């Protein structure tokens, strides 16, 4: 069975990003994938200090919650990263997670992991696509395989529109693209790992 982790990069634990990532994972589960949702907002993860020890040893010198998270995500076949749009880009929490994942690049643990992006902004055209692109850039540099939400829409992944908590429950397009992204990640991960 393939394992897919969903990362939520919002400081609002029960916010819109959490809602859409959860929907994507439920849809992956319907195809028999094992899933786990991880909320960065609940974790203690400090920014990278550029000590560069990870380049020599593959280990991070900072001892916080990122250690156990790195262990978890180095053993998955699918990864979905969701972030709210903050000024047209990912949140600080999401960026810190990305930077601190550098030890995984020492031996390319995310190579061929089937991955996709989810973003939520308060405005239509508020930067959802640029935020998905920032997540895609990260995944590319980790040598993961990037997918979008697949047919029939086949765009950037899931782009939600909603400002207040629970707004995305009524966002039909965000909901549908999140579910389709979850299926697309699971289907390809299953195919590649048969």
Residues in contact with ligand FMN by CB under 6 A are: 10, 12, 15-17, 84-88, 120-123, 126-127, 162-163, 165
Q: Which is nearer to ligand FMN, 37 or 53 (CB)?
A: 37
Q: How far apart are CA 77 and CA 84, in angstroms?
A: 24
Least CB distance from residue 143 to ligand FMN, whole Å?
28
Least CB distance from residue 158 to ligand FMN, whole Å?
12
Q: How far apart are CA 181 and CA 14, in angstroms?
A: 20
For residue 121, give the nearest of 79, 80, 78, 173 by alpha carbon: 173
Q: How far apart are CA 136 and CA 142, in angstroms?
A: 10
Q: Using CB positions, name the residue nearest to ligand FMN.
A: 126
Q: Which is nearer to ligand FMN, 85 or 144 (CB)?
A: 85
Q: Which is nearer to ligand FMN, 7 or 190 (CB)?
A: 7
Q: Name the one residue in this structure whose structure tokens are 């990532």.
A: 21
The gap from C-alpha 44 to its chain's centroid, in whole angstroms, comes to 18
Least CB distance from residue 115 to ligand FMN, whole Å?
19
Least CB distance from residue 117 to ligand FMN, whole Å?
14
Q: How far apart are CA 128 and CA 160, in angstroms?
A: 7
């Amino acid at each position: 069975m393939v394992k897919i982790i969903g990362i939520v990069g919002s400081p609002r634990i029960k916010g819109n990003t959490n809602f859409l990532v959860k929907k994507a994972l439920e849809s992956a589960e319907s195809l028999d994938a094992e899933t786990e949702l991880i909320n960065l907002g609940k974790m203690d993860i400090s920014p990278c200090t550029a000590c560069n020890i990870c380049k020599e040893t593959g280990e991070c010198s900072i001892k916080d919650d990122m250690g156990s998270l790195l262990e978890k995500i180095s053993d998955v076949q699918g990864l979905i990263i969701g972030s709210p749009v903050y000024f047209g880009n990912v949140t600080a929490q999401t960026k810190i997670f990305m930077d601190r994942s550098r030890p995984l690049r020492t031996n390319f643990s995310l190579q061929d992991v089937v991955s996709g992006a989810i973003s939520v902004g308060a405005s239509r055209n508020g930067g959802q696509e640029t935020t998905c692109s920032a997540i895609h850039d990260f995944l590319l540099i980790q040598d993961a395989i990037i997918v979008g939400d697949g047919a029939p829409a086949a765009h950037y992944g899931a782009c939600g529109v909603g400002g207040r908590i629970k707004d995305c429950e009524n966002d039909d397009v965000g909901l549908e693209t999140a579910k389709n992204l979850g299926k697309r990640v699971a289907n390809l991960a299953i195919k590649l790992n048969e």
